Amino acid sequence: MYILKSFFEEPTWDETKILDRTKKLLASEYLNSLIKTCGLKPIYEIFEEYMKREDFRSIASQTLLNQPAFIEEYVKLPTLMQEYVELERLGTGLLEYVDNTKYLKFLFGLNESEAIKFYRQYLSERFGKIYRDLTDRDVPRTEDVFVTEGIRKFLELDLYLSPFTSFPMNFPVELLFERPFDRLYIDFYLSDEEDIKKLVLRAHVVYSNFIDIVSTGVVNSGIYVTQLEALLKQYIFYWNVASQTLDALYKEMKKLNIFSTDRDSSIYHIYSDAVGLQIKDLADNRLLLDRDYRNCINHNSLTLSVGDPTKEIRICDCFKEEGAQTEKVMLYEDVLADIRSTIENTIGDDGDGLSYGCTGTILRNNKR
């Protein structure tokens, strides 16, 4: 550890040689052994301030992400965080949880494309397993905690598409309802045509599990069942705007043909700024949508193709395009009755049934 610290505390770095020396050090067996012996914490503390340097981030992306011990330490993170998800309602494990998320922030500070590839290869499936286990009532755990099928399906796709902001950096209910349903079209990464299918499927999961997912959001909001009518109308309106925005973005991506054979980018980042949605090619940081394209998406997203946007839940056009068929349009009155029944059966009239956490988990207050 002393050798590593003294190397990065050298007062007179020769810029012409330091990059080569740094690359050799980060790729060395010495560093691999150090990570294996000491874990991520001391490495993180030494490297953190140097992450501000683009040249260091580039070298670290080429070397650290291939170190066996570095990979092994990151593979452990989902297991370390699982206990906090299960015990959220008891208020335990928070310090350890926060401590572990900083290592993910370090990973996400590396080269964007390389960090995405690393996360998808080693972490997204493992974080998804936390929620898969919590849908299985027969898996032994310290408390009777579970998640609904709708939340679990949404999160598994969200982990893949939007890893930098998905669980555990944010929790499923926060992702879906902090700005209701904006998650459908904001801040995700695409590497091939199959990823576009995953994007559409994530929205289809929310639509197909609308009652389940909205019930979770309602209970988490603290709104009483007697106030449900107004809140549900808001959620339906937000869904309609978000789903139409997704359709507009989907059409523009298809027009651009971003995965044609004559393009050599590996990953695209789709995000929102003050003007609207934008697509960035991470191969060269080129922005693909000009102002006209962005204005077109903005206009289409606000021209709602439903009669009453608070009472009819529209079906995304892209569902049919990607083979995610949906049988019928859902209507406010039917959804209201189902959500009211779901909530009453869940929490009970006296609130002594089940309770929801922001992680998307449900804690059973009364043992079976």
Residue 121: its pLDDT value, please?
95
Distance CA 167, CA 183 (A): 13
Residue 60 lies in a domain: no
Residue 332 lies in a domain: yes
* DSSP code at position 274: S
Residue 278 lies in a domain: yes
Residue 16 lies in a domain: no
60 CB neighbour count, 10 Å cutoff: 24
Residue 257: its pLDDT value, please?
83
How many domains does the structure of the chain reveal?
1
Residue 321 lies in a domain: yes
Residue 201: its pLDDT value, please?
96
Q: 44 near 38, Cβ under 8 Å?
A: no
Mark the ranges of the chain whose per-residue pLDDT is less than 70.
1-16, 83-99, 136-146, 220-226, 261-265, 302, 305-306, 346-368
Which domain does 277 fall in, by range? Answer: 148-364
Single pTM value for the model: 0.85
Residue 135 lies in a domain: no
Percentage helix, strand, coil, to 5, in the chain? 60, 10, 30
Residue 130 lies in a domain: no
129-183 pLDDT, tens digit each: 887 877 765 555 444 445 778 888 999 999 999 999 988 888 788 888 888 999 9
Tokens 């009819």 correspond to: 312
Residue 57 lies in a domain: no
